[in-house]
Every structure is written in C-alpha cells, then in structure tokens.
Amino acid sequence: MNGVPVEGKVVLVTGANRGIGKALAIKALECGAKKVYATARDESKLAEVKAIDSARVVTLTLDVTNSDQVKAAAAAATDVDIVINNAGMGTGAQLLADDVVEKSKLEMDANFYGPMRMVVAFAPILKANGGGAIANVLSVAGLVNFPFAPTYSTSKAAGHSLTQGQRTVLAGQNTLVCGIYPGPIDTDMTAGMTVEKGSTEELANYVFDGIANGTEEIYTDAMAIQLAQGLKADAKAVEKSIAAQFQNVRD
Ligand SMILES: NC(=O)c1ccc[n+]([C@@H]2O[C@H](COP(=O)([O-])OP(=O)(O)OC[C@H]3O[C@@H](n4cnc5c(N)ncnc54)[C@H](OP(=O)(O)O)[C@@H]3O)[C@@H](O)[C@H]2O)c1
C-alpha cells in the first residue's frame, strides 16, 4: 500500500487534549497538514492545541465509547484523509481481582471497540477521499502481556488483531492501515512507572514517517524496536523476560 505523507492532508486525532494524542496533533500541524480535527471527550481541554493554529485546528467533542458521538464526528469531518485512533486507557485491573471483568470491559470499550466504531464510521469517508490512512495506537503490550497491566495488554492484543482485519478489509479501497506500537512513553499514563520512557515528540516523528512510507507496523522508540526484534527471534524468551522484568514497575 502506498504511503500517505501528512503534508496537505486532513488529519483527525482522538484523545488530542494530552499525552501522545496532543503530540500527534501538534506534529501534524508542524508537518504541514491542511487541517487537524483535534478531538477529545471534553472539547474545552483542546484550547491549547487550538491556540497553536486556530485556522487549521478544528475541535470536536468525541468520546470513542459513544457511538452517537462517533457518528456525529464523521458527519462533521467528511474531508478527513488520515484517522489516528489514539484515545485509550488502562484501569489497573488485576487478573485475580473480583472486579477484573468489569474493569476489563471498560478497557475493551475504549481500546478495542473505540477504534472499531471509528473505522465503521470513517471508512466510507476515506474511500470517498481516495483511500487515505488509519493509524491505530496500540502498544507493545498488545504483542506480549505485561504483568502490571494484564487486561490493558489483552485489550491492545485485540486491537492488534482488529488492525490486521481492518487492513485486509480496507485494502480494496486503497486505505493504508497502520498499527502503532509504543513501548513506555512519558505521559500521564506512565506517571509513577520506574522504567525508561520514550518521548511523545520522538513517537510522533516515527508515526508520521511510518504513515508517509506505508509502514504497516510502526515501532516508536528504542524499547519497542528491540522488543519487536526479540519477538521475531524468540517470542517465548520475550514473554518470559517481560513477565520477570515488569512485575513491579510502579512507585
Ligand atoms: N504512554 C505509554 O507508555 C503508552 C504506551 C503504549 C501505548 N499507549 C497508548 O497511547 C494512547 C495515548 O496514551 P497516553 O500515553 O497519551 O495516555 P494519557 O496521557 O493518559 O492520554 C489518554 C488520552 O486518551 C483519552 N481517552 C481515554 N478514553 C477515551 C475515550 N473513551 N474517548 C476519547 N478519548 C479518551 C484521554 O482523554 P481524557 O483526558 O478525557 O481522559 C486522553 O486524551 C493510548 O491508546 C495508550 O493506550 C501509551
């Protein structure tokens, strides 16, 4: 599939009010996007991104667990070329706890059903606009289970499989479907984690370079690149190593 350089394109980012999503929205502007739909559950939290370039930034309210809001966003953003499904969350659920099913459902709703809803709504728009690209922000935790966030890992593994399926079903309409696989990145999500973290700026560079080059699986930092290489060489060894290393990484 051909790559989609961001320059001159219309980009939509979910969860653009902070963390990785905010960095992706800003990087899209820096790289010459024609327009950026910066979306968030609370639109008022997008003021900082809007202020960067109020002519090119359009803000929208969008909770990806709300089907009506997803449909409304698609009705408002019919000129989109690149959809970045970044919004995601972790509950800290533990596998043997009484509330694990309830918490895991919340993670699945945002991290798995969210990108599913978004692609149902936006695939026809991308098709009408010539194909474009979808980038699902997944995680290396979707490739191997991280023991401090086991159900978050399963939601990202489901997202990984979903991304493969979306790639297949959208190939005929010329839509590039990229999976984004970060290791630990310095955002609110990893606050209190005592591990080395990549930066959101470096991640954003990897993401837009990858989309421009037609890279289907984009690893966004040194840890992610190393983990992906390890999985190719010996997946069982990586599983054991991550299980041993990532038991107690919170302060
Ligand atoms: N940080 C990492 O180490 C890391 C590693 C791998 C993958 N990721 C993934 O990267 C993505 C961004 O994470 P982050 O590190 O930037 O975390 P973050 O700082 O906690 O930001 C999460 C973003 O997602 C939004 N969000 C959560 N649930 C949502 C929903 N139902 N609808 C719309 N927006 C929602 C949040 O909005 P509110 O402000 O309204 O809560 C916020 O904008 C997530 O998919 C995460 O799983 C992160």
Average pLDDT over residues 108-117: 98
Best of 86, 136, 221 to mutate for ligand 1, by most ligand atoms within 8 A of CB? Answer: 86
Check pLDDT > 80 for residue 92: yes
Task: Name the residue type at position 23.
Answer: A
CA distance 173 to 57: 27
Which residues in 15-49 are b (16+ Cβ under 10 Å) and which e?
A: bbbbbbbbbbbbbbbebebebbbbbbbeeeebeeb
For residues 126 and 173, is the Cβ–Cβ distance under 8 A? yes
Query: What pLDDT is recorded for position 21?
Result: 98
Other Cβ atoms less than 10 A from the Cβ of 192: the count is 9
Instruction: Look at residue 62 in the predicted model and tell me its pLDDT.
Output: 98
Q: What is the mean pLDDT of residues 115-128?
A: 98
**pLDDT of res. 67:** 98
pLDDT in tens, 127-160: 999 999 999 999 999 999 999 999 999 999 999 9
Q: Report whether 188 contacts 200 (CB < 8 A).
A: no
Say yes or no to pLDDT of 112 above 70. Answer: yes
pLDDT on residue 250: 62
pLDDT in tens, 36-85: 999 999 999 999 999 999 999 999 999 999 999 999 999 999 999 999 99
Do 89 and 110 form a contact (C-beta atoms < 8 A)? yes
Site to substitute for ligand 1 among 89, 91, 105, 112, most atoms within 8 A of C-beta = 89
Homologous superfamily (CATH) of 10-245 is NAD(P)-binding Rossmann-like Domain (3.40.50.720)
* Residue of 52, 51, 60 lying closest to 122 (CA atoms): 60
Q: How much distance in Å is there from the Cα of 86 to the middle of ligand 1?
A: 6
Residues 90-108, mean pLDDT to the nearest whole number: 97
Q: Which residues are catalytic?
A: 152
**Cα 34 from Cα 227, distance rounded (Å):** 35
- Which structure tokens are listed for 116? 């599913």
Q: Per-residue pLDDT tens for 190-236?
A: 999 999 999 999 999 999 999 999 999 999 999 999 999 999 999 99
Give the ligand 1 atom nearest the CA of 23.
16
- Give yes or no for residue 186 having a pLDDT over 80: yes
Q: Which atom of ligand 1 is nearest to the CA of 45?
A: 39
Contact 249, 193 (CB under 8 A): yes
For residue range 163-182, list pLDDT tens digits in order: 999 999 999 999 999 999 99
What is the per-residue pLDDT for 55? 98
In this predicted structure, what is the pLDDT of residue 209? Answer: 98
Alpha-carbon distance of 228 to 142, in angstroms, equals: 11
pLDDT at 247: 76
Q: Tell how far the Cα of 245 is from the centroid of ligand 1, in angstroms.
A: 24
What distance in angstroms lies between residue 110's CA and the mean position of ligand 1's atoms? 9
- Sketch the domain layout of the chain as residue ranges: 10-245
172 Cα to the center of ligand 1, angstroms: 30
Contact 5, 210 (CB under 8 A): no
Q: What is the pLDDT of residue 33?
A: 98
**pLDDT-derived band of residue 251, with 50, 70 and 90 as boundaries?**
low
- The two tokens of residue 94 are 């533990």
